[in-house]
Structure 1
Amino acid sequence: MKFAERMNRFGEGVFSRLAEIKRQKLEAGESVVDLSIGAPNIPPAEHILDVLCKEAADKNNYIYAINDQKDLLQAVSQWYERRYGVNLDPDTEICSLLGSQEGLAHIAMSIVDEGELVLVPDPCYPVFADGPRLAGAELYYMPQKKENGYVIRLSDIPEEVAQRAKFMVVSYPNNPTAVMAPDSFYEELIAFAKKYDIIVLHDNAYSELVFDGRHCGSFLRFPGAKEVGVEFNSLSKTYGLAGARIGFCVGNPEVVKHLKLLKSNMDYGMFLPLQKAAIAAITGDQSCVETTRAAYEKRRDVLCDGLSAIGWKFPKPEATMFVWAPIPESFTSSEVFAVELVKRSGVLVTPGSAFGPSGEGYVRMALVQDEPELKQGIAAIDACGILK
Structure 2
Amino acid sequence: ATKEQWQSLVDFGKKHNILMVNDNPYSFVLGSDPRSILQAEGAREVALELNSLSKTFNMAGWRVGMVLGNAAHIQAVLKVKSNMDSGMFYGIQKGAVAALKSGKAWFEKLDNIYNERREHMFRLASLLGCTYDPEAVGMFVWARLPEGAPRSEEFIDKLLYEKDIFVAPGTIFGEQGEGYIRFSLCVKSEKIEEAIARFKKEK
The answer to whether the aligner puts 1:184 opposite 2:41 as a matched pair is no
Counterpart CA distance in 1 for 2:78 and 2:137 is 31
Matched residue count = 203
**Could you tell me which residue of structure 2 aligns to residue 61 of structure 1?**
none
**Could you tell me which residue of structure 2 aligns to residue 381 of structure 1?**
199
Change (3 A) 1:334 1:322: same
**Which of 138, 142, 149 is residue 331 of structure 1 equivalent to?**
149
Deviation for aligned residue 1:309: 5.3
Aligned residue identity for 1:191: D
Counterpart CA distance in 2 for 1:252 and 1:183 is 20
**Could you tell me which residue of structure 2 aligns to residue 207 of structure 1?**
27
Counterpart CA distance in 1 for 2:73 and 2:157 is 41
Greater relative contact order structure (CA < 8 Å, 6+ sep): 1
**Could you tell me which residue of structure 1 aligns to residue 48 of structure 2?**
230
Counterpart CA distance in 2 for 1:381 and 1:325 is 17
Q: Secondary structure at the match of 1:353?
A: helix
**Could you tell me which residue of structure 1 aligns to residue 179 of structure 2?**
361
**Which of 124, 128, 132 is residue 314 of structure 1 equivalent to?**
132
Change (3 A) 1:313 1:189: closer
Change (3 A) 1:354 1:309: closer
Aligned residue identity for 1:208: F
**Could you tell me which residue of structure 1 aligns to residue 167 of structure 2?**
349
**Could you tell me which residue of structure 1 aligns to residue 188 of structure 2?**
370
Instruction: Give a deviation string over 1:78-120, Cα, whole Å, max 9, x none.
Output: xxxxxxxxxxxxxxxxxxxxxxxxxxxxxxxxxxxxxxxxxxx
Aligned residue identity for 2:200: D
Aligned residue identity for 1:355: F
The CA RMSD over aligned residues, in Å, is 1.9
Deviation for aligned residue 1:210: 2.5
Contact 2:30 2:114 in 1 (8 A): no
Instruction: Give a deviation string over 1:198-219, Cα, whole Å, max 9, x none.
Output: 10001110111135xx412222
Change (3 A) 1:376 1:265: same
Deviation for aligned residue 1:374: 0.6
Greater displacement, 237-246 / 283-292: 283-292
Identity within the alignment, %: 35
Deviation for aligned residue 1:310: 6.3
Deviation for aligned residue 1:313: 3.9
**Could you tell me which residue of structure 1 aligns to residue 68 of structure 2?**
250
Instruction: Give a deviation string over 1:173-220, Cα, whole Å, max 9, x none.
Output: xxxxxxxx2111111111111000010001110111135xx4122221
Runs of 4+ with deviation above 6 angstroms: none
The answer to whether the aligner puts 1:241 opposite 2:47 as a matched pair is no
TM-score by length of 2: 0.91
Contact 1:327 1:363 in 2 (8 A): yes
Aligned residue identity for 1:235: L
TM-score by length of 1: 0.49
Counterpart CA distance in 2 for 1:379 and 1:249 is 43
**Could you tell me which residue of structure 2 aligns to residue 264 of structure 1?**
82
Counterpart CA distance in 2 for 1:281 and 1:376 is 32
Contact 2:170 2:182 in 1 (8 A): yes
Change (3 A) 1:326 1:368: same
Deviation for aligned residue 1:355: 1.3
Greater displacement, 319-328 / 308-317: 308-317
**Could you tell me which residue of structure 2 aligns to residue 124 of structure 1?**
none
Which sections of structure 2, spanning at least 5 residues, go unmatched?
Answer: none
- 1:1-388 correspondence runs (5 A): 181-211=1-31, 214-308=32-126, 311-385=129-203
Aligned residue identity for 1:369: V
Aligned residue identity for 2:90: L
Counterpart CA distance in 1 for 2:123 and 2:132 is 10
Q: Secondary structure at the match of 1:202?
A: strand
Q: Secondary structure at the match of 1:226?
A: helix
Counterpart CA distance in 2 for 1:381 and 1:326 is 18
Which sections of structure 1, spanning at least 5 residues, go unmatched?
Answer: 1-180
Aligned residue identity for 1:285: G
Contact 2:24 2:50 in 1 (8 A): yes
Change (3 A) 1:383 1:315: farther
Counterpart CA distance in 1 for 2:108 and 2:18 is 36
Contact 2:149 2:155 in 1 (8 A): yes
